[in-house]
Structure 1
Amino acid sequence: MDFYSLVIIAIALSLDAFGVAISIGINKGVKRNSKLIFAASFGFFQFFFTLLGAYAGFLFNTYVVAIPKIIGGVIIALVGVLMIKEGFEEKEDNIFSSFKMYIILGISVSIDAAVVGFTVFNKINSNYIIAAQSIFVGIVTFIISVLAFIISKYLRKLELVTKYADYVGGVILILFGLKMMFF
């Protein structure tokens, strides 16, 4: 695979993480350290699932093409519903401050990377190239997630966005989940 194709694949895989990062970033209760952990989680799981998919691709190529998108979509949509529910409740705790949320969201935005590993990266014969390209996908996802958090910082300055951040973020996550499941 040439470098141009790899960049396109890495950017395409990171767009779900970008959308989720925007949704998380507009929430005032999420601290900078949490945002970095989310970005690292998104990048790590994109790398890990791409690598895992590449190595397991020859076994699952015909069986697991649609299922990961459905599972990831359901998880992201459920987090969106939780975010909207949190918007109705006035409490100090933030759903994004728990360790398991880093893992859950990291996995859910990265399941499609396993599909790419299953279908594209499994045709590569060199373990070094598979590892290098998987690391590249993870780094691109991390950078794009950090950019999304930076953009969300400016979106938060808009009073309307801040007032309805949980609702807007929840709706965005639900739409991403539906997109993953049906399109």
Structure 2
Amino acid sequence: MSGYVGEFISLLFLAIALGLDAFSVSLGLGMQRMRLKRVAIIGLTIGLFHLIMPFIGIVLGQVISGKIGHLTTLVGGMLLIGIGSQMLFSSFNYKSMKIIQPIGAGLFLLAFSVSIDGFSVGLGLGISGVKTALALFLFAVVSTLLAWAGMFIGRKVHGLLGAYSEILGGSILIAFGLTIVFG
């Protein structure tokens, strides 16, 4: 019994670690004015990608783990830097349209960029023989909850910071992307 509890707790901590990037990015997103429906859709999409990416990693784990593991992290970080830069620069020009918004393809790009580390984790889990269904369930649920929490906290901060909140949100995305690329 204690072995199952220990594995559950380990997977829960791993799920929290994987979901913290979604939380950080969602802080920045929450500073944009979004309806609650959009917040719900973004959180669910991020959770879905936190299920899909580790699953793909688990399936392909033994085949390609040593060849492209470092590349996926670089791509995810660069995507976050690009999204954050666009958000930061658009805050100085209120007439410009946002190129990447958390709608449609932009939402999938965002969800992909914050869940790509789950692919690398999945590679490792595929080799270790962990309980796949439990791990994927925890990754999806925890990342969804953390994304929602980040967006709700970001909404509150937006009310306090006003016009500067989009600059802060873009800066958060850029900083997180740089941390992924260089950290």
What TM-score, normalized to structure 1? 0.90
Q: Please list, as runs of the form range in 1=range in 2, the aligned pairs for 1:4-43 lying within 5 A after superposition.
A: 4-28=9-33, 30-43=34-47
Q: 1:130 aligns with which of 129, 132, 148?
A: 132
Contact 2:42 2:102 in 1 (8 A): no
Q: Please list, as runs of the form range in 1=range in 2, the aligned pairs for 1:141-160 lying within 5 A after superposition.
A: 141-158=143-160
CA distance in 2: counterparts of 1:173 and 1:42, whole angstroms: 15
- CA deviations on 1:79-113 (whole Å, 9 max, x unpaired) are 00110121022138554253111100000000000
Contact 1:53 1:117 in 2 (8 A): yes
Contact 1:13 1:112 in 2 (8 A): yes
What TM-score, normalized to structure 2? 0.90
Could you tell me which amino acid in structure 1 is paired with residue 164 of structure 2? Y
Contact 2:54 2:119 in 1 (8 A): yes
Identity of matched residues, %? 27
CA distance in 2: counterparts of 1:179 and 1:68, whole angstroms: 14
Contact 1:77 1:175 in 2 (8 A): yes
Could you tell me which amino acid in structure 2 is paired with residue 175 of structure 1? A
Relative to structure 1, is the Cα distance of residues 97 and 50 closer, same or farther in structure 2, using a 3 angstrom cutoff?
closer
Query: Which range is displaced more, 33-42 or 15-24?
Result: 33-42
Q: 2:7 aligns with which of 2, 18, 30?
A: 2
Q: Please list, as runs of the form range in 1=range in 2, the aligned pairs for 1:16-165 lying within 5 A after superposition.
A: 16-28=21-33, 30-91=34-95, 93-94=97-98, 95-124=100-129, 129-158=131-160, 161-165=161-165
Query: Tell me, which stretches of 5 or more residues in structure 2 are unaligned?
Result: 1-5
